[in-house]
Amino acid sequence: MDLSLIIMQLFSGIALGAVLVITALGLTIVFGMLGVVNFAHGALFMIGAYAGLYLASLTGSFWWGLLLAPLLVGAFGMLIERVLVRRLYGRSVDDPLLLTFGLSYILVEGVRIVFGSDGIPFPTPSQLIGVVDLGFGFFPKYRLFVIALVAVVLLALWLMLEKTRVGLIVRAGARDPQIMRVLGVDIGRVWLAIFGLGVGLAALGGVLAGPMRSVNPEMGTLVLAEAFVVTVIGGLGSIVGAVVAGLMVGVCISMVALFAPEMATIVMFALMAAVLLVRPQGLFGLKGRA
Amino acid sequence: MAMQSSGAAPALPQAQRVMAAIADHRVLVSLVALALLPWLLPSKALAVNVLIYGVVVMGYNLLFGYTGLLSFGHAAFFGTGAYLTGIAIGRFGLPWFAAVPLAIAASTALAAAIGTISTRTRGIYFSMVTLALAQLVYYVALQASSWTGGENGLRGFTVDHVNLLGLQINFLDPVNKYYVLMAFAALAIWAQSRILNSPFGAVIEAIRENEQRARACGYDVERCKLIVFMLSGAISAIGGCMSALHLSIVPLDILHYQTSGMIVMMVLLGGARSFFGPFIGAAVFLILEDVVSIWTPHWQIVVGAIFVGFVLFLPKGIWGTLLDLLPAARERR
């Protein structure tokens, strides 16, 4: 096995991991803030992919799909929070989880009704077809673009959370929503926005993943399990954890695919089990949360 | 008003007494109801499915309803029970009465392994970890196709007759099949009732109500959770064995996340924390699927919407809500 092949596979793993990071980040931000795990996250990822595909074919440009799909699906997520999830705050932590699980059933079947049950190919945008010479080998342009875009989104999120007033409110609200209320912050609106952000990130993950795998109504199930594995490894509610664990899982999957392809689907679960045995709260999780 | 209530008064305590009698003889009541089921439902196939899923969901209820642990991976034990029954009969040529206990024992061992990892976590983590580990079992079954038949499912282990104490029972006859499988269900129902009546049954409910207090009382919470996880897996595996004997094929979908989700839906529809809830939930879900799929192939959207409605408005399920209505009626008196 020569070295360049391994390096290429490493890059593929990072591209795969980048999509995982974006998706898991949506899950983890919503949990950190609202204490809600969104079981419809995978279904909303799938809706994002379909919305991106539909908008791209409507406008004739992938870029409009990439821009509009997360915004529209994010707005849809806010609607879900306002109409359904909001009623369950203060009830058992299992209730929002069960609700969003039921919702995922509705969403998947809804997509089947509108777009049919068969997979649809998602064309790669024309500007990103082909490969780039990285010096040690050729790498698909689209995957390189995914890595770059995810890096930009992560940077923007980090700046927003750490450097702005809104970010300050969000971080404080995650610590103690009661005090925020006393200080005169309408925490309900912050939760609404965060839920929308989380769902929007899922949709962004869906659009980005589209050209790398075919789009079908069931694609969300695997993604949900993957996002869970990433957040459990990284520590639920931890943003750094989601980034590190997402890249780790992506690289792990593609490396194992190189040496033992039949183990590729299994390795991330084994990784999760190993992490749980050593650190039940995840790599970057706070003790007591797990 | 006073006239009305005095007229209705004798009826209400009677309803209470009936409910108390039902609760006291829950195993007997369950068995009588199940014995009548094939004659009440439109098809024998539907009745067998209610029986099988009822047992699976009942095992799950031990974990979710009584201990308060929301697992999203119970398909792993349902499926493993089915696969191992099929493999033991088809591959090793074992008779069914040897295959079934073996399959249950091995599924319990799997539950011990998954339980050891997942009970180290709490709350939402537990749901996510059980889901992920069940997906692991799914992918292992998919990859090990020389043993499991992979995507095509496991075939080639038809049980056509059952030899019971010298009595040959034709297992291809749907009525015979139902009552033979009901013997397994009876065993599972008795075991469930026995567990809940034991001191251990009280401990798991104490853990659900207040984990810290149970710990302060000196109970080893982690160990109890692991034991209940294994018992729950074992009872659900009985349902898996029944499914394998019934269908003579094990579809790969039995291990899928959708199956785990269906189990969760059934228990919530019927009423978690109640003894009869699982069978009622399984019956309602399967009848609903049967009826709605006549009108539309997209029955899942209807079932999903009904489930969301239950989570929002009737979180105690059908049986739990019914039980709640009775004391309310008494107060009105």
Chain A (53-112) residues lying within 8 Å, Cβ to Cβ, of chain B: 84, 87-88, 91, 93-95, 97-99, 101-106, 108-110, 112
Kindly give the pairing relationship between strand A138-140 and strand B161-164.
Answer: unpaired
ipTM score of complex: 0.89
For residue A212, the number of C-alpha atoms closer than 13 Å in the C-beta half-sphere is 22
At B328 the pLDDT is 55
At B333 the pLDDT is 37
State whether A276 and B117 contact (CB < 8 Å). yes
Gap from B133 CA to chain A (nearest CA, Å): 7
Contacts of B246 (CB under 8 A, 6+ apart): B48, B52, B177, B181
Closest in B124, B139, B142 to A97, CB measured:
B124
- Decide which of A187 and B281 is more confident: B281
- The residue whose two tokens read 């360049």 is A4
Query: Which chain B residue has the Cα nearest residue A277?
Result: B117
At B218 the pLDDT is 94
Residue B129 near residue A272, CB atoms below 8 Å = yes
The CA-to-CA distance between both ends of chain B, in Å, stands at 10
At B114 the pLDDT is 96
Cα-to-chain-centroid distance, residue A37: 13
CA angle in degrees (0–180, nearest 5) for B9-B12-B13: 100
Which one, of B210, B192, B222, B221, lies nearest residue B60 by Cα?
A: B192
- What φ, ψ does residue B315 adopt, rounded to 5°? -65, -15
Report residue A48's pLDDT band, with 50, 70 and 90 as the boundaries.
Answer: very high
Domains of chain A: 3-278 (1.10.3470)
Which tens digit of pLDDT belongs to each residue from B60-117?
999 999 999 999 999 999 999 999 999 999 999 999 899 999 999 999 999 999 999 9
Spatial separation of the C-alpha atoms in residues B31 and B28, rounded to whole Å: 5
Q: What is the mean pLDDT of chain A?
A: 90
Spatial separation of the C-alpha atoms in residues A250 and A187, rounded to whole Å: 35
Query: Which chain A residue has the Cα nearest residue B268?
Result: A98
Query: Which chain B residue has the Cα nearest residue A267?
Result: B136
Which tens digit of pLDDT belongs to each residue from B176-202?
899 999 999 999 999 999 999 999 999
Lowest mean pLDDT among A275-279, B55-59, B253-257: A275-279
How many Cβ atoms are within 10 Å of A170's Cβ, its own excluded? 21
Domain B24-326, architecture per CATH: Orthogonal Bundle (1.10)
Spatial separation of the C-alpha atoms in residues A69 and A56, rounded to whole Å: 9
Contacts of A191 (CB under 8 A, 6+ apart): A33, A34, A81, A86, A173
Cα dist from A36 to A19, A86, B13, B240, whole Å: 22, 11, 42, 32
Within 8 A of A97 by CB-CB distance, chain B residues are: 70, 124, 127
Q: Model pTM?
A: 0.90
Question: B118-139 burial, b for 16+ CB within 10 Å, e for fewer?
Answer: bbbbebbbbbbbbbbbbbbbbb
Within 8 A of A231 by CB-CB distance, chain B residues are: 128
Closest in B125, B131, B135 to A290, CB measured:
B125
Spatial separation of the C-alpha atoms in residues B268 and A52, rounded to whole Å: 35
| Optimal mutation site among B61, B71, B126, B135, interface A, most CBs of chain A within 10 A | B135
**Three-state SS at B248:** coil
State whether B304 and A269 contact (CB < 8 Å). no
Lowest mean pLDDT among A167-176, A276-285, B159-168, B251-260: B159-168
Which one, of B275, B187, B277, lies nearest residue B237 by Cα?
A: B187
At A186 the pLDDT is 87
Spatial separation of the C-alpha atoms in residues B137 and B86, rounded to whole Å: 17
Give the largest Cα separation in chain A, rounded. Answer: 62
Name the strand (E) or helix (H) holding B272.
Answer: none
Spatial separation of the C-alpha atoms in residues B62 and B64, rounded to whole Å: 6
Gap from A61 CA to chain B (nearest CA, Å): 32
Which one, of A38, A45, A24, lies nearest residue A209 by Cα?
A: A45
Sign of the Cα torsion B321, A82, A34, A223 reads: positive
Q: What does the domain layout of chain B look like in residue ranges?
A: 24-326
Which one, of A97, A87, A92, A91, lies nearest residue A188 by Cα?
A: A87
